[in-house]
Amino acid sequence: RYDRSMTSTATWTVRTLPLAELPSIEWERLLATNPTASAFSNRAVHEAWWIGYGAEATDISLAVYDAAGALRAYLPLMLRPDGVRYLGATYHVDYATVLIDLGNADSAVAAAGALVAHLFADDAALDLRRLRRADRAHALLMRALAENTTRTATTTVEDPAPAIDLTDIATLDEHLERIDKKDRHEIRRKVRRGEGAGVTISAKPHAVDDLAEFIRLHRARWGSRGLFTDDAKGARDEAFMRALF
């Protein structure tokens, strides 16, 4: 099912390489060169998606190699039943993943160009949503898309929900100390109000232990309009979330 076309020049080779066949150390090496990548570029997110929804798609991810045979770029790519090629995990993530070795600027630009040339050599539709200008690898891909005149590409940059950086933050108080004094006071007031009503906030080393309760609360709030519906779709949603946890 993975036998798709390969393009090659004297300098670059691009071929299909499903995620399961890519060594984790290679993924991590590429990711480490890009400090601007989002959390959605973690391999675990993609592995969880294939566990939950893999039966609905074919993994046609692309690997880009230089003349010496070194991996210089990797693009998670899937072919869905609608015949469209999608970057990353479609609507289950805020941002797509594009991995490019950014250690050498000239090599990174050339690798992105080789990747786009291969993408455009296939006539199948290509969904380019969820690219992020702040991500240096994404920016290189968008530049290559604009410079390649083989086809016309429309890229969509999305603005997902806000996020906070919890690196080295282990408690709620540690987080509150970093924010505005007024906001900190308001949050602590609401925490005290909750504690008065019997609510407790505690750290859990294994959040997956409470996943069943999380799913129950989600269903109670959203019903058939949310995730975890009482059907095959809901079962896939739960499998994805459990693998992610």
Would you state the pLDDT for residue 1? Answer: 40
Token pair in block for residue 131: 């690219």
pLDDT band with cut points at 50, 70 and 90 for residue 6: low
Contacts of 184 (CB under 8 A, 6+ apart): 176, 177
**pLDDT tens across 27-58, in order?**
999 999 999 999 999 999 999 999 999 998 99
**pLDDT tens across 154-184, in order?**
877 776 667 788 888 888 889 899 989 999 9
Token pair in block for residue 10: 């004297």
Would you state the pLDDT for residue 201? Answer: 82
Token pair in block for residue 120: 């455009």
